[in-house]
Amino acid sequence: MKKYWHVIGIGLQSNLTYRFNYLTRTLFSFIPLFAMLSLWRTIYAGNGGKEPNGFTQAQMVFYYMLVAVVDVFTAVNEDDWQIAADIREGNISQFLLKPVDYLWYRLCLFFSGRIAFIMMAIVPLAIFIFCFRTYFVAPVNGIALAVFPFSLLLTALLQFFISYTMAMLAFWLLEISTFIFILFAFEYLASGHLFPLALLPSPLFHALLFTPFPYLLYFPISIYMGKIAGTDLWFGLAMQIGWVLLAYGCARFMWRRGIKKYSAFGG
């Protein structure tokens, strides 16, 4: 384990070198959120105060506040691009000769990147929350308070393993950017970034719950807000754990198959 703690330390030092980039990225990421909040305020003002699928205006604003929080803690930033570059440029050759597991190495770098990003984003995020502090509420109950951080960790792992698996396509394809963009676009819609998934027609919403995408954002937010509780909460948590394990298995499978295809140039 010492070597992986060392990787996290190196990753923190490397990421903090680019702290201005992190700060700039955080600031610009709030622009779409402000736009969405303005849009929903206009929608609520124009529909006579009706509540779509039980979301009050205050709850809708708070939902997007939590979107910002979950993104800061769990989003994958360029990890898939870096993994694909390691494969394409032959940098993974060294991991075939050393007692370092490449998946755990990249996972350590992912978490070090998240820690560095949180350190840079904490002030802009605090300002964002302060601007909308009247909408901020505590978790609905003790169960939500306890389960939300665990679900957040599962969300981060699921994000990483999916991105890692997608990056493994670089063993077979020279350029995987198209696949990454397609996955990102689908995630943005099906995970709840654009709007709460509960606003979708009921059959489509329940069908999506059997895919990994709601567990990348919508599910942990719904736990915090009390939109998912009781047996639905435990069923959803079991589904999230299941998708994390499946994504991990796919990541391992793609690595084993890819290594057989790999020609060790460079590195």
Q: Are 159 and 76 in contact (CB under 8 A)?
A: yes
> Taking all residues of the chain, what is their mean pLDDT, rounded to a whole number?
85
3-state class of 75 per DSSP?
A: coil
CA distance 83 to 86: 5
pLDDT for the residue 55: 81
Give the residue-averaged pLDDT of 44-54: 69
CA distance 18 to 226: 37
Question: Most confidently modeled of 164-173, 238-247, 256-265?
Answer: 238-247
Contacts (Cβ under 8 Å, ≥6 apart) of 248: 157, 161
pLDDT in tens, 109-125: 899 888 888 887 788 78
Surface-to-core class of residue 231, CB atoms within 10 Å of its CB (0-12 exposed, 13-18 middle, 19+ buried): exposed
CA distance 15 to 114: 9
pLDDT for the residue 177: 85
pLDDT for the residue 26: 67
Q: How confident is the model at residue 180 (pLDDT cuts 50, 70, 90)?
A: confident
Q: How confident is the model at residue 169 (pLDDT cuts 50, 70, 90)?
A: very high
pLDDT for the residue 266: 46
Question: Which has more pLDDT, 25 or 250?
Answer: 250
pLDDT for the residue 50: 64
pLDDT in tens, 181-224: 888 888 888 999 888 998 889 899 999 999 999 999 999 999 99
What share of the chain in percent tops pLDDT 70?
90
In the chain, alpha helices (H): 2-17, 19-46, 57-74, 79-89, 102-131, 142-167, 177-190, 202-208, 218-225, 230-261
Phi, psi angle pair for 178, to nearest 5°: -60, -45
Phi, psi angle pair for 243, to nearest 5°: -70, -35
Taking 50 as the threshold, does the pLDDT of residue 154 lie above it? yes
CA distance 79 to 76: 6
Taking 70 as the threshold, does the pLDDT of residue 20 lie above it? no
In 47-78, alpha helices (H): 57-74
Question: Which has more pLDDT, 127 or 157?
Answer: 157
Contacts (Cβ under 8 Å, ≥6 apart) of 198: 53, 54, 55, 205, 222, 227
CA distance 139 to 233: 14
Q: Which of 20-24, 100-104, 228-232 has the lowest mean pLDDT?
A: 20-24
pLDDT for the residue 16: 66
